[in-house]
Amino acid sequence: MKSGLSIVIVNYFSESYIIPLVDKIVSNINIKNYEILIISNSPSLFQWDCDYLDKHTINIFENSTNDGFGRAINRGVEYSKYNYFCMINPDIDINRDTLDKLYLFFNTLEDEVGAISCMVKNSDGTMQNSFFMDRGLTKKSFFLLYLSKLIPSIFFHYMKIDKGVQQDIDLSKPFEVGGFYASFVMMRRDAFLEVGGFDRDFFMYAEDVDLFRTRFIKRYKSIFYPFVELTHFSGKTDRYGLMEHQAQVSYLLYLRKVGGYYLFVYVFLLSIKYSLLLLISLLLNKKVKKEEAFSFFKSLKYLKTILKYPKGYSSMPNSLKIDEIKD
């Protein structure tokens, strides 16, 4: 395997974001060997000419149907030719030296480190929740977490419940995390392929949590490098405004795969929570997270389908996609 960096970007009607992103990457990158692979889940409308594509080693692959994010990334990694790859969401504004510094840092690490990422910020400059500290689920912590969402948290102030990025963290040096969310992650190609890549059952969302918590963590470490940053304009590529609903359904699928206990606790406790919130909003004539409640109950219509997916990895021919998202 050649030494270098393969940059994988998934397109779904996101040309207006990908074109300036790619232009910025190729204008600033100093890595000698690199390539850009764009996996398009929609008919691509890029205006680059052949000379530009050849000069910057940009390859565009068209999918006949929209099979989702995870399958597209898997395809890009399989086509890649370098030992490192970086998945980048289209709606990211990358700083000029981010890729170079991360790549150089990765090359100083032992082979047991399989993934790294950097500081991801929101458009307002605040730190985005781009990683999680916990390395898996435990029945006790999971139950307490969602029970605390039902009962006023004052009763749970003494219980240790992982709050991810909200924990006290030291940003003065790199540190190990449980895993990353997939908006921007650099990984060893062989490590990603060794654990099977993203589970093909996930259309979009939760595939990253599933990968890192269920398979990747058993063999490789993930390191957060806080000295470079980028901006993620989260949700800008949501063509139909349905991604929050898809994320909810995908999370239910993730819980199904890790065990029926987790799925039952989540559905049972949140059903009580949102039923009470809706009742309060009706009695007091107040808008109390109605949209959040409706999104949760709407996702439950997929439970019958979700239960057809057994525990484990990539078991079904089609990924779980909500009905409203078109191919």
Q: Is residue 104 part of a domain?
A: yes
How much is the pTM?
A: 0.89
Across the chain, which has 327 residues, the per-10-residue mean pLDDT values are 95 93 95 96 89 93 90 96 96 94 97 96 91 86 86 49 56 94 96 96 94 94 96 73 84 93 94 86 67 86 91 82 75
pLDDT of residue 236: 62
Q: Is residue 276 part of a domain?
A: no
Q: What's the CATH code of the domain at 51?
A: 3.90.550.10
Residue 9 backbone dihedrals phi, psi, to 5 degrees = -130, 135
Beta-carbon count within 10 A of 268 CB: 12
pLDDT of residue 234: 76
What is d(CA 131, CA 182) in angstroms, rounded to the nearest whole number? 9
- What's at 115, amino acid-wise? A
pLDDT of residue 165: 45
Q: Is residue 197 part of a domain?
A: yes
pLDDT of residue 304: 93
Instruction: Give the chain's domain count.
Output: 1
pLDDT of residue 52: 92
Q: Is residue 149 part of a domain?
A: no
Tell me if 89 sits within 8 A of 183, measured CB to CB: yes
What is d(CA 194, CA 13) in angstroms, rounded to the nearest whole number? 31
Domain extent for 107 = 2-137+162-232
pLDDT of residue 288: 58
Q: Is residue 284 part of a domain?
A: no
Q: Is residue 189 part of a domain?
A: yes
pLDDT of residue 310: 83
Q: Is residue 212 part of a domain?
A: yes
Q: Is residue 152 part of a domain?
A: no
